[in-house]
Amino acid sequence: MTAEYRLTSTAGLRVSVDGRGAAVDVLTTYLSNDHCVAVSRYTRDLIISSAVEVDRRLGTDFAGQLDQRVEISYPAIDARPYLDLDPEESARVLDRRGLDSDGYVLFLSRLGLAKGVDDLIAGFALSCTASSKRLVIAGEGPDKEYFRSVAAASPVADKIIFFDDVDDSEKAHLMAGSCAYVLPSKPRPEFVETFGIALVEKMLAGGGPVITTETGGIGEAVGDTAMIIPVGDPPAIAARIDEAVLYTSPEQRVAMAGRARDYALQFDRARVFDQLMGRVVPMAA
């Protein structure tokens, strides 16, 4: 992946036709703002390391400026829909979906190759949990049909369910009702997790343990509250699913969910905006 592509992807700005111009335009536009922020330390480091490469190739001096100016401001997440869920509404949501509380392992995110859903399907098939629980794969994305084909060929195909029509009103209830939530993301040329918003939403909602990798900025999103697995390792996914579902006591699960929620609350939008404005207002003064 070129420095120009990494910088453009990170900043989310339009690429010019000329590669050199793309890098210069992205960084010049970014630095022209009064306050430069990145959504994670991983993203900040990526911006600066890419700028070092640009400086080396083009003789510019962006990296030093970025190192001085770029601060971290994590994504601002509205925590309210995920807290204090109505148990009766949760029961209704699960009933409409044909699910039992604590009866399924959940993936709920975008269905792209970088999300590792194929690894999850393989790991679930290897787990002892598959004999008593189901795997729910919820979301939309460009690789949905590929993942469906992988699931159809799995020895536990009859235990795997796809939902491609989950709306915002259902998300928190599905997360809270899961016995484990698995997001086995892996770095791909086209995408690396810069943070992990879905993970934070799950941590706010409660339910079973979070199982994920430390790809990109995920470690910042979950802290020490998740079960970490290596990238692209179905046997490790199987082992963690079994640990979370079969070998963790109800008391341990409650304690883990509480720690995860406490950690995730730092990303509530009120706190994030207060911190951000606390930095911006002195600059304006």
Same domain, 227 and 244: yes
- Map tokens 């399907």 to a residue: 121
Same domain, 130 and 252: yes
Q: At what angle do helices 3-11 and 19-31 cross, to 10 degrees?
A: 40
Q: What percent of the chain has pLDDT over 90?
A: 86
Tell me if 41 is assigned to some domain.
yes
Boundary of a domain, candidates 38, 72, 106? 72
Closest CA to 120 of 233, 271, 230: 233
Tell me if 185 is assigned to some domain.
yes
- pLDDT of 17: 35
Same domain, 26 and 125: no
Same domain, 190 and 95: yes
* Parent domain of 33: 3-72
Tell me if 278 is assigned to some domain.
no
Same domain, 22 and 136: no
CA angle, residues 212, 218, 224, in degrees to nearest 5: 70
Q: What is the mean pLDDT of each run of 10 residues along the chain (285 residues)?
A: 48 43 87 93 95 92 96 96 97 98 98 98 98 98 98 98 96 98 96 97 98 98 98 98 97 97 97 87 58
Same domain, 15 and 125: no
Same domain, 86 and 57: no
Same domain, 127 and 260: yes
- pLDDT of 152: 98
What gap in Å lies between CA 129 and CA 238, rounded to an integer?
8
* Contact by Cβ (8 Å): 229, 213: yes
Same domain, 34 and 146: no
Has this prediction a pTM greater than 0.95?
no
Tell me if 276 is assigned to some domain.
no
- pLDDT of 120: 98
Same domain, 21 and 149: no
- The domain tally of the chain equals 2
- pLDDT of 280: 72
